[in-house]
Structures are given as structure tokens and as C-alpha cells.
Amino acid sequence: MEIDKKNNGVSASTTATQPLWLLAEITYQCPLQCAFCYNPTDFDKHTQNELDTNSWIKVLRQARDLGAAQLGISGGEPLLRKDIEEIVTEASSLGYYSNLITSGAGMNEKRIDALKDGGLDHIQLSMHDITEEINNFITNTKTFKLKQKVAAMIKDRGYPMVLNVVMHRYNIDHIQEILEMAEGLGADYIELANTQYYGWSLVNRDQLMPKKEQVENALKVTNKFRERPGNKMKIFFVVPDYFDNRPKKCMNGWGEVFMIVTANGDVLPCHSARVIPNLEFPNVNDSPLKGAWYDSPAFNKFRGDDWMQEPCKSCSEKENDLGGCRCQALLLTGNAEGADPVCSKSPDRHIIDQAIKDSQNPGVEAKPIIFRTNANSKKIENGDEKDRLAKFHATP
Amino acid sequence: MTVDTKDIYKIAAHHRFQWEKAQDCYVILFPEGMVKLNGSAGEVLNLVNGESTVELITDTLSKKFSDAPNIAKDIEGMIELALDKSWIEKVN
């Protein structure tokens, strides 16, 4: 059985499987302010109670005992933590295949060497565009040259390099040049991840969403690039579900493979699960991971298909996508147990169609993007952006 | 790709082959992926070490599983698959 987060290689079961993938969202602080960040808009309130080094080491040991073998160290920007080297060293000795997911900010010669010595297996670097202008615009920071420099450093140290490019209307037409740049930098893998609309990217959805023709063209260009003779770079193209008529099999199924531990120790089955109301997620400060994974009501809530409503319940395709994304269903329809509205069989598909229409309105670019900053996080938390959010979020 | 009995292979760069106690099987780990190997695939790749020829691997496994027919063919097939998936690479 092949477990790959890019395909649907894992089938659903009603009995809990073992977690294979641990994502440690080690800090929500980040020097970049990307408009498409999937982190929660209320991240600022979680920045005061980050887990300390010893707690993370405990998390690594417990998850490894449960079966996790892939480890992603993410954020925010994980390099803002001074103890990443220590955490990586522990992960390596436990037998994880470890991945640092970084914007490059905070990386330097000394740290990249220390991480190598500690046993870090690979590095995923975010890239935004071939132009300095778009890079700096979408991240709201001057980070273009930094990323080029860090990419060279990663290759120089012999790490496998994964470049992650979140695609949106400002860079999607540059896909050929982005692929050429990635190849030139020696990337082993590139993920062309069309923006999925959660957290900050949902707030900025109108400003980010490309046209359908742009997406189709991007896919065509990507396939052509991939099929060139001698192509060595592995290319993942993450399709934007809004333009599809079936939802994605989110996280390969709720509580099936992935376990996320957030900066403050919450244990989640997916990045944005905390948007679902009336679900209490376990926290590593209170309960061991084993209980969180196997026994917590939150992790069991959407396992298997007993929870499904129509049209999913009797759908012949339910095994393919398990009804799609619970968070998207909640955010857009107000019902976490309903079909993901992306599905053409969902009675709520019109919400997606309307969103696509709204984003094509020539007036939307005039509205300012709300960048991912602590100040904006506080503002949203205080209700200052209520009107704008009401447009996106269903009221449960 | 055809496999010769004199070929020597090793686990490919950027890949790691290891025993997973919790899963009770061998796995291959690489960026963004993990493959759980079934029993026979695991036995074969466990002997792919950058030194042993396919012939030696076949000898070793023939002794270990003396009641398995056509083992040489199965081993070759497994090595072809692993090459095709880029889990292993040729040394000599």
C-alpha cells in the first residue's frame, strides 16, 4: 500500500488506523505576511503559550510510538524557534524522516550545517514567483533574494529540496517560468499548490482566486513540462477544488493518517479543524497522544462514514472522497456534517459558483488584501472585519 | 529496465529503508511519501545494500525460503519495480 499525501491511496475504515504523519506546527510567529496563509486568523492568541522544547520532545516520542514516521516541522516560520536543531536531532534519533517546512527566513550557514548534523532529511522551501515584485507583494515582505540564497544553500548541503509554490491569480500565469526557475535551482520536487481557501486565504479569496481558464492553462503547461524527455524534477499539481466537481479526500480521511500538533499543543486531524464548533480538541498538556488519536471524541467524530448525511450517505462515490472537507463544509454552509459544497451533488454547490463569480468581479482587486500579521489577527479577533468575514463564513 | 544477476543496487539517494515496529513491516521513506512494503518486497530490499549482487540476494533468499517456487523471477520482478519507482539505484 502506498501512502502519499498527493493521492488517495488509503481507504477509509471504521476502526482507527495508525498515524503515519506528524505535522508539528511549532510556532505561529512568522516574519512573512502571506495573503494566502492557511493558518488560523486568530493565530495571535496562540503565540503566548507555545510548547517548550521538552514538551515537543515528548510529543515526538509519543507519536513515534504510535507509528508516525514522517515528520513535518512547520509553522509559522519554524526557524524563529531557537530549539529547532535540538528537536531535529531528537527526531532523527527516533527514526523519523524529517522535513523542515520553511520560508527561508532565519536560515543561515551555521544553522543549515547544524540541522544536517542533527539528521534533518529534507527541506521544503516556499517560493512565490519569478518576479521580485509579486514575491514581495504577496508576502508583504522583501524576501525574494533571501529565498534564492536559501535554495542554493539547501542544494549545496545535499538536502533533497522541495519547492512549494502556492498558486493564485498573481503568479499562475508564470507557471512555465516558475518551473524553469525551480529546475535551474536544482529542485528535486516542486509542489504547485493552488490556494485552498481556509484561514487568511479565505479572507482574501476574492483577491486570490484565478480564473478557470488560468487554472486549465497552468495544468496544460505543467503536464507539458513534466513530459519533456529527461525531466528529473517531480512535479505535484494540487488542483483547486473550487473548479472541480468532486471534493478532495481531505487529509486522506479524518484521523486516518495525519496528526497535527499546533504551537500551543492542540492535537488536530487537519490544519483548520478548530473552526468546527462544539468539538473539543485534545491538548498534549492534558492528555497523551495515544488517547487523543484513538479515544478522543473529536478524532472519532468523522472517522469512517457513519456520520454522513445525504447526499453523501447513499452516494456510490463516498469512498473516493469521504464527503470532502469537513472544515470547508462548515465554513461555507454552516454544517460540518454536510457534503463539501464543492461537490456537484451538494445542494450547496451554488455557494462555490457564486464565490467564483464574485472573484471575477473587476472591482475586487480594488479592495485591500488583509495580510497575515499579528495586528490583523487581533483586529479579526476583535470583530473589526466582521462585515468582510460575514460574506465568506456561513453562520452556523 | 532489465535486471542482470551480476547487478548491484543500493537504496536511492534521498530515500530511507527501515523497519517500522508499529506497522510491523519495512517501509521506504522519501520527501512527501512513505511506502509500506509487503513481506517479500521487504525481504528483498533488506538485502539491497550496495554490495550484494542480485545473484547473491537470490541465493540468500532461496535458502531462507526453500519451499518458494520461482523465487529468482519474483526477486527480479521486485527489483524492477523498485527501480521503476526510483526507490533503488544501480551501483555497478
Report the Cα A9 to chain-centroid distance in Å.
Answer: 19
A58 CB-near residues (< 8 Å, 6+ apart): A284
- In 3-state terms chain A splits into helix, strand, coil percentages (rounded to 5) of 40, 15, 45
Mutation target vs A (from B30, B32, B87; most A CBs, 10 A cutoff): B32
Does the pLDDT value for residue A341 go beyond 50? yes
**For the whole model, what pTM was predicted?**
0.92
Do A268 and A275 contact (CB within 8 A), yes or no? no
pLDDT in tens, A227-281: 999 888 999 999 899 999 999 999 999 999 999 999 999 999 999 999 999 999 9
Q: Which amino acid is at A65?
A: D
A181 CB-near residues (< 8 Å, 6+ apart): A127, A130
Q: What are phi and psi of A268, to 5 degrees?
A: -125, 150
Q: What are phi and psi of A73, to 5 degrees?
A: -110, 115
Closest CB to A99: pick one of B27, B31, B36: B31
**Min Cα–Cα distance to chain A from B72, Å:** 23
pLDDT in tens, B56-87: 999 999 999 888 888 889 999 999 999 999 99
HSE, side-chain direction, 13 A CA sphere, residue A216:
5
Pairing of strands B9-11, B88-90: antiparallel
Do A276 and A327 contact (CB within 8 A), yes or no? yes
Beta bridge partners of B61: none
Cβ contact, residue pair A4, B31, below 8 Å: no
All 3 cell numbers of residue A373? 500579521
Quick check: B34 contacting A, CB < 8 Å?
yes
Q: How far apart are CA A270 and CA A274, in angstroms?
A: 9
The pLDDT of residue A365: 64
Residues 183-222 of A with CB under 8 A from B: 188-189, 191
Nearest CA in chain B to A62: B22
Closest CB to A188: pick one of B14, B22, B34: B14
Closest CB to A69: pick one of B14, B31, B34: B34
Does the pLDDT value for residue A362 go beyond 80? no
Q: Helices A84-94 & A109-118, crossing angle to 10 degrees?
A: 20
pLDDT in tens, A108-129: 999 999 999 999 999 999 999 9
What is the ipTM for the molecules in this complex?
0.91
Q: How far apart are CA A39 and CA B87, in angstroms?
A: 34
Exposed e or buried b per residue across A67-99, where buried means at least 16 C-beta atoms within 10 angstroms of its C-beta: bbbbbbbbbbbbbbbebbbbbbbbbbebbbbbb
Q: How far apart are CA A3 and CA B27, in angstroms?
A: 10
Quick check: B81 contacting A, CB < 8 Å?
no
Do A381 and A46 contact (CB within 8 A), yes or no? no
Q: How far apart are CA A242 and CA A343, in angstroms?
A: 9
The proportion of chain A whose per-residue pLDDT surpasses 70, expressed as a percent, equals 94
Cβ contact, residue pair A1, B36, below 8 Å: yes
Beta bridge partners of A235: A190
Q: How far apart are CA A62 and CA A287, in angstroms?
A: 11
Cβ contact, residue pair B22, A66, below 8 Å: yes
Nearest CA in chain B to A232: B86
| DSSP label at residue A275 | G
pLDDT in tens, B3-56: 899 999 999 999 999 999 999 999 999 998 999 999 999 999 999 999 999 999
Quick check: B22 contacting A, CB < 8 Å?
yes
HSE, side-chain direction, 13 A CA sphere, residue A391:
12
